[in-house]
Amino acid sequence: MVERKDVRTVEKKEVIQLRETTLPLLRLGRFFETQSQIDQGENFYVVVVAPPRSDWA
């Protein structure tokens, strides 16, 4: 779970820090051009999709 306060903006894009790596955020509602039907609370889940790396073990 990510807290809203952990989201930063770099070059007009939202990013989070995870295990000393900066990851860009892709909000699905914006990507699919839909309007969210849920409350924009202080915490939200993030799904990381990436090939496995040996240093993530």
Q: What is the pTM of this model?
A: 0.70
Contact 25, 45 (CB under 8 A): no
What six digits make up the tokens of 3?
Answer: 């807290």
23 burial level (CB within 10 Å; 0-12, 13-18, 19+): middle
pLDDT > 80? residue 11 = yes
Where exactly are the structural domains of the chain?
Answer: 2-56
Q: Which residues pair with 8 in a beta bridge?
A: 15
pLDDT tens-place string over residues 17-41: 998 899 999 988 888 888 766 666 7
CATH class for the domain made up of 2-56: mainly beta
> Average pLDDT of the chain?
85
Please state whether beta strands 13-18 and 8-10 pair in parallel, antiparallel, or not at all (unpaired): antiparallel
